Amino acid sequence: MSDRLAVRKTFKLYLGGAFPRSESGRTYAVTDARGAFLANAAWASRKDARDAVVAARGAFAKWSGATAYNRGQVLYRVAEVMEGRHAQFCEEVAAGEGLSAGRARAVVDAAVDRWVWYAGWTDKLASVLGSANPVAGPFFGFSTPEPTGVVAVLAPQRSSLLGLVSVLAPVLAGGNTAVVVTSRERPLPAVTLGEVLATSDVPGGVVNLLTGDAGEIGPWLAEHDDVDAVDLTGAPPAQAMELERLAAGSIKRVLRPPAEEPDWSADPGLSRMTPFLETKTVWHPKGV
Amino acid sequence: MTSPLFEYAPAPESRSIVDVAPSYGLFVDGEFVDGSGDTLKTVNPATEEVLSEVAVGTEADVDRAVRAARRAFTRVWGPMRPADRGKYLFRIARILQERAREFAVLESLDNGKPIRESRDVDVPLAAAHFFHHAGWADKLGYAGLGPDPRPHGVAGQVIPWNFPLLMLAWKVAPALATGNTVVLKPAETTPLTALLFAQVCQQADLPPGVVNIVTGAGETGRAVVEHADVDKVAFTGSTEVGRSIARAVAGTRKVLTLELGGKAANIVFDDAPIDQAVEGIVRGIFFNQGHVCCAGSRLLVQESVHDEVIASLQRRIGTLRVGDPLDKNTDVGAINSAEQLARIRELSEIGEAEGAHRWQPACDLPDRGFWFPPTVFTDVSPAHRIARDEVFGPVLSVLTFRTPDEAVAKADNSTYGLSAGIWTEKGSRILAIADRLRAGVVWANTFNQFDPTSPFGGYKQSGYGREGGRQGLAAYLKGASH
């Protein structure tokens, strides 16, 4: 063992491409699975959530307007940088989730592979979900999937990296921007993922990661008029119905929480992408 | 100056083809039964004549209908061979075609829409919806929605008064094709074609309980939406009611699709062929008296052609014939109800009060019935109520823009996102602008086109889910991603 004094990290939010503290000045203690202190994480507030929505809305035009091929490359780049942080993710997942080193490695492998899988979807969605519509008239009509907009994601509480990637990557692959409330007890892999995103080519504001309490911030996001959709996966079960009611105020798309946190290693299919896609249909007359 | 109207002799469609009973019960489990509550009168909005009395379904009536639908789902419709389900739908499509005149006349009587539209649009499209979906019934495995997509069970459906039969078809055809059974609540003011459709179900020997029709008003609709044994809720109507339905299904296992209001921008660029654009503007806002959720109610016209477009538009509007819905020459019929007329009047008065300029053609309106002339507001600012609120009437708000960026910004400056129009000769501009508009349906150099193969539905507060096409099937299948 070296006698060098370690340089500890300050864990902050990832918001609009920067790493601010919570404007509230609040932090909370994060412990490992056995209760030992790991870090003080920023405890995001309502104001942070609102700032994150502004950042996500601001980033939407460019991200949704990028070519699908470009989005695919940017997302693939994220997986490359994740791979480079593999050891760090393993440590954090092992500590937070109480997994053996081998099990943590498998989880991180799956998370990187999941990100790669979604990166490859960007330029397939329109072929798979779109259509040329054989209408009964002299018209050329086609339908394509488009991103819903700003998606608020309450990330899973237990699976701190694979679960997080499994809810975030599909939102991004479709061209949405995201405001994510991370696992409250296990936020450290999310903070590291923020650093990965900041050092890959994802434009600032496309992903905003708020460490804190989904039960506290969730309602503000669910009723925010500039949020287009909410994923309630990590919502406190007793609060899910109230969040869905709040979301109804501006006719948000709602992905309801599963009865219990699913096995994230299962093949997700399209089930986490289509809730955040709209179908646009364009008609044009044919004529000489 | 002589009247711009050509002289036409009246050409009324005979109403003798329809036989409206003095009263109707509910259609439950394959037969007409008495309701357990009050009745309501449905009137001809063009004359205020009472057409019939229909039952106001109570919670108990809705419960009876849902139980019939559940039984039919479990015992008959669910287990049925998909090809046979398809054959029933083909039968229904054919009967609708055979009885098309009857439906068209009844629709115009009950709704007030011109017979030209009910005859040429509503009824043929309704038949087409059944015909299209009939073919899907035994091909669902090919729809890209999973290898063995399953129905939800009982679908509770609530539809509006603007296209009574067509909205029924949009709801019932995909629900049945995918193996669901249905409890449908038609609009309070337009129940008659749904009740005639019930007779079509009998004529087609559709098994009892597969389609149940419970008439009534808002409370009846609420009972359908909130019934604990309804698996799937589909609603078309106002955003306000859509919100309350979304709240009502929150926390349940019910699956919801909503097709709500709109405030579509119809964008006219300076290179558009003006005459064609004017036809499109007229079709966009005066079709069905503007009682269209996707109506092109905000005209965005490029500043350089504003005066020319407005002059041409006013000339064209001067030739529209407003009056008897059953006259084949009529272009614009009656407003559907006194209540809707009051709302149109109120918003128009607010438009003037806020500083916009109202223009209406000289036009004689019948003495009785509910009427509002085609109306154009100019000098409208984006903050005006008539530029933001859905009027749901023959009222066009005109705004201007200078650049394509400004057109897109103004078009998207709405809580709604159902439809939009683009008029320009430049193809590349159409595609670029269509990409940027946050709307579910974009009509380029056309407007208000509908087809069962073409997904329809909104962005933002215009709702979610699609109706029509492969994508529309997803709403009625379990775990199906579109």
Q: CB within 8 A of B371, min separation 6: which ones?
A: B322, B334, B335, B341, B365
Measured CA to CA, the distance from residue B152 to residue B230 in angstroms comes to 9
Kindly indicate the confidence band of residue B6, based on its pLDDT and cuts at 50, 70 and 90: confident
Q: Report the percentage of chain B scoring pLDDT > 90.
A: 96
Whether B433 has its CB under 8 Å from any CB of chain A: the answer is no
User: B457 to chain A: which residues are within 8 Å by CB?
Assistant: 279
Residue A219 lies in a domain: yes
| Contact across the interface for A133 and B456, Cβ inside 8 Å | no
Whether B413 has its CB under 8 Å from any CB of chain A: the answer is no
| Contact across the interface for A280 and B440, Cβ inside 8 Å | yes
Report the gap between the CA of A28 and the closest CA in chain B (Å). Answer: 31
State the pairing for strand pair A207-210/B31-33: unpaired
State the pairing for strand pair B416-417/B395-401: unpaired
Report the gap between the CA of A278 and the closest CA in chain B (Å). Answer: 7
Chain B 217-246, residues with CB within 8 Å of chain A CB atoms: 239, 242-244, 246
Q: Which of A141, A228, A245 sits opposite B454 (nearest CB)?
A: A141
Predicted local distance difference test score (pLDDT) of residue A26: 97
Q: What is the mean pLDDT of the segment spanning B298-318?
A: 98
Report the gap between the CA of B48 and the closest CA in chain A (Å). Answer: 36
Residue A7 lies in a domain: no
Residue A256 lies in a domain: yes
Cβ-contact B190, B167 below 8 angstroms: no
Measured CA to CA, the distance from residue A40 to residue B449 in angstroms comes to 58
Beta bridge partners of A36: none
What DSSP string describes B231-262? -EEEEES-HHHHHHHHHHHTTSS-EEEEE---
Whether B405 has its CB under 8 Å from any CB of chain A: the answer is no
Q: What is the mean pLDDT of the segment spanning B64-74?
A: 98
Cβ-contact A42, A26 below 8 angstroms: yes
- At residue B444, φ and ψ (nearest 5 deg) are -105, 125
Q: Fill in the amino acid letter for B420.
A: A
Residue A22 lies in a domain: no
Residue with tokens 């559907």: B336
Measured CA to CA, the distance from residue B296 to residue B434 in angstroms comes to 15
Cite the DSSP H helix spans in B99-179: 100-111, 115-117, 123-136, 164-177
User: B251 to chain A: which residues are within 8 Å by CB?
Assistant: 240-241, 244-245
Tell me the CB-side half-sphere exposure of residue A192, using CA atoms within 13 A. 24
Residue of B nearest to A136 (CA): B451
Instruction: Catalytic residue, from B13, B107, B188, B259: name it.
Output: B259
- Model confidence, pTM: 0.97
Predicted local distance difference test score (pLDDT) of residue B271: 97
Whether A253 has its CB under 8 Å from any CB of chain B: the answer is yes
Q: Looking at the 3D structure of chain A, how many domains does it have? A: 1
Of the candidates B212, B227, B259, the one whose C-alpha atom is nearest the C-alpha of residue B59 is: B227
Of the candidates A73, A53, A4, the one whose C-alpha atom is nearest the C-alpha of residue A178 is: A53
CATH code, domain carrying A124 = 3.40.605.10
Whether A127 has its CB under 8 Å from any CB of chain B: the answer is no
* Per-residue pLDDT tens listing for chain A (288 residues): 578 998 988 899 999 999 999 999 999 999 999 999 999 999 999 999 999 999 999 999 999 999 999 999 999 999 999 999 999 999 999 999 999 999 999 999 999 999 999 999 999 999 999 999 999 999 999 999 999 999 999 999 999 999 999 999 999 999 999 999 999 999 999 999 999 999 999 999 999 999 999 999 999 999 999 999 999 999 999 999 999 999 999 999 999 999 999 999 999 999 999 999 999 999 999 998
Q: Tell me the average pLDDT of chain B.
A: 96
Report the gap between the CA of A240 and the closest CA in chain B (Å). Answer: 7
Measured CA to CA, the distance from residue B19 to residue B447 in angstroms comes to 35
Q: Which of A61-65, B6-10, B12-16 bottoms out in mean pLDDT, i.e. has the lowest?
A: B6-10
Q: Which of A175-184, B124-133, B360-369 bottoms out in mean pLDDT, i.e. has the lowest?
A: B360-369
Hey, what are B60's tokens?
């108990």
| Contact across the interface for B250 and A148, Cβ inside 8 Å | no
| Contact across the interface for B415 and A281, Cβ inside 8 Å | no
Whether B454 has its CB under 8 Å from any CB of chain A: the answer is yes
Whether A139 has its CB under 8 Å from any CB of chain B: the answer is yes
Kindly indicate the confidence band of residue B5, based on its pLDDT and cuts at 50, 70 and 90: low
| Contact across the interface for A284 and B243, Cβ inside 8 Å | no
Number of neighbouring beta carbons within 10 Å of residue B67: 18
Predicted local distance difference test score (pLDDT) of residue B1: 44
**Burial A30-56, CB ≥16 within 10 A → b, else e:** bebeeeeebbebbbbbeebbbbbbbbb
Residue A81 lies in a domain: yes
pLDDT at B367 over 50: yes
| Contact across the interface for A283 and B442, Cβ inside 8 Å | yes
Q: Which of A271, A278, A284 sits opposite B444 (nearest CB)?
A: A284
Predicted local distance difference test score (pLDDT) of residue A138: 98
Q: Which domain holds residue A251?
A: 27-285
Measured CA to CA, the distance from residue A31 to residue A184 in angstroms comes to 11
Whether A283 has its CB under 8 Å from any CB of chain B: the answer is yes
Number of residues in chain A? 288
Residue of A nearest to B449 (CA): A283
What DSSP string describes chain A? ---PPP-PPPP--BBTTB-PPPTT--EEEEE-TTS-EEEEEE---HHHHHHHHHHHHHHHHHHHHS-HHHHHHHHHHHHHHHHHTHHHHHHHHHHHHT--HHHHHHHHHHHHHHHHHHHTTTTTHHHHH-EE---SSSEEEEEEEEE-SEEEEE--SS-TTHHHHHHHHHHHHTT-EEEEE--SS--HHHHHHHHHHHTTTPPTTSEEEE-S-HHHHHHHHHH-TT--EEE-TTS-GGGHHHHHHHHHTTT-EEEPPPSS---TTS--TTTTTGGGEEEEEEEEE---
Determine the residue among A241, A253, A283, A286 to mutate to test chain B binding: the one whose Cβ has the most chain B Cβ atoms within 10 Å: A283
Domains of chain B in start order, with CATH, are 23-260+462-478 (3.40.605.10), 265-444 (3.40.309.10)
Chain A 254-273, residues with CB within 8 Å of chain B CB atoms: 254, 269-271, 273
User: B448 to chain A: which residues are within 8 Å by CB?
Assistant: none
**Is B13 among the catalytic positions?**
no
Number of residues in chain B? 482
Hey, what are A281's tokens?
């249909």
Measured CA to CA, the distance from residue A192 to residue A44 in angstroms comes to 16
Radius of gyration of chain A (CA): 20
Cβ-contact B458, B436 below 8 angstroms: no
Residue A154 lies in a domain: yes
| Contact across the interface for B455 and A134, Cβ inside 8 Å | no
Whether A245 has its CB under 8 Å from any CB of chain B: the answer is yes
